[in-house]
Amino acid sequence: MRRTTSPVSLVLLGIGTFLLVLAAMLAWYVEPRAQRTPIDTDATTVFTGQGSYFDAKKVKTVDEAKLTITRKVRGDVADSEAGGQAIWDVSTSVDTDGTLPASDPHDAFQWTVERWVTDRKTNAPVHCCGESPRFEGEAYLKFPFGVERRSYRWWDSTLGATVELRFKDRKKIQGHEGYLFTGTVDPVKTGTRQVPGVLVGQPERGQVLAEEWYANHGIELVADQRTGRILYAAIGPRKTLRAPGADSDDNEVVLLESKRIAFTEETQKKQVELAKADNRKLQLVGLTAPVGAGGLGLLLAVAGSVMVFRGRPEGAAAAPASARIPESVTR
């Protein structure tokens, strides 16, 4: 006897197959492509701590002062979309109590402007689009997606080179766990600056080309493992001036120093909040949606397949109850 296929079974099989394909696409195609550095970022991070700085008006180093570093990052959406890279314009100001609040960054104790261009997938530097400075390494304003427990080359703009940051441990920031990386920078000459000789212990000379030296007592970065977003940062910069050719730091002048200047609690909370939001999105497209679609799709596909396999005899539709002949009548 020939059997026919129920339309319902075909619909179930079709929907189930579609959901299975959708689950695979979400897990292996959409989710990896969702791991891209955002181009529309607009964020501000603030560091605070105690330290020393050179007061040009007093012509001396002031100790035990409050220092504030404010970093503003804004994505250049138009240029990023045109080239496919993440282009971020970064403004960093260093302030003392005497320069805060500053309505204009030009009034800050120090102010720098940079333009970072990175590959949105790998976080590797892309040397184009007005990049400044030309930088190298693996970690900058963020780490790559899928942070590993290994050493990373972190770009230090003051040094003008990369610093090795070693994985140390897991660490919770505002209740959210990340990976802690640490490193240091030994004293190194980074440039020269013309100053009065008396400033660096050479009063007999009018002007000298003093040497600029830089070191970092300690760098601590805690990164979210999945997104690479930096949840916490602490640095210990030391910038000094030395007399030309000086082979020691006996007469050096401290321009800026802090044993530890770190993210404020407010910045930590904001970074953790953003990391959690990013994690939820990646979790949705990488696990929740694929598992849900795959489970439902498999169930519907199996049910539809069983119904198709069994089918029903052709012309074997049940007669209406009113048309059935009672067994007693046929006897």
Q: Per the domain annotation, does 295 fall within a domain?
A: no
- Long-range contacts of range 23-27, CB-CB < 8 Å, 24 or more positions apart? 23/289, 23/290, 23/291, 23/292, 23/293, 23/294, 23/297, 24/290, 24/294, 26/285, 26/286, 26/289, 26/290, 26/293, 27/286, 27/287, 27/290
What digits encode the pLDDT tens for the residues 227-261?
Answer: 999 999 999 999 999 998 887 777 789 999 999 99
More confident residue, 34 or 172: 172
Tell me: the pLDDT tens digits for 190-219? 999 999 888 888 888 889 999 999 999 999
Of 112, 144, 111, 114, the closest CA to residue 129 belongs to 114
Is 4 among the domain residues? Answer: no
Please indicate, yes or no, if residue 264 is contained in any of the structural domains: yes
- Mean pLDDT estimate for the chain: 82
Domain count across the chain: 1
Q: How confident is the model at residue 262 (pLDDT cuts 50, 70, 90)?
A: very high
Query: Is the pLDDT score of 168 beyond 90?
Result: yes
Give domain status of residue 111, yes or no.
yes
Contact status, residue 215 vs residue 238, Cβ threshold 8 Å: yes
Q: Are 123 and 228 in contact (CB under 8 A)?
A: yes
13-29: buried (b, 16+ CB within 10 Å) or exposed (e) per residue? beebbebbebbeebbee
Beta bridge partners of 182: 166, 220
Q: Quick check: is 266 in a domain? A: yes
The average pLDDT across 276-282 equals: 83
3-state secondary structure of 12: helix
User: Residue 107 domain-assigned?
Assistant: yes
Give the model's pLDDT for residue 95: 93
Residue at 158 is within a domain: yes
Lowest mean pLDDT among 101-115, 119-133, 158-172: 101-115
Q: What is the pLDDT of residue 105?
A: 76
Q: Which domain holds residue 260?
A: 28-284
Q: Is residue 294 part of a domain?
A: no
Q: Which pLDDT value is given to residue 318?
A: 45
- Residue type at 147 in one-letter notation: V
299 vs 99 pLDDT, higher one:
99
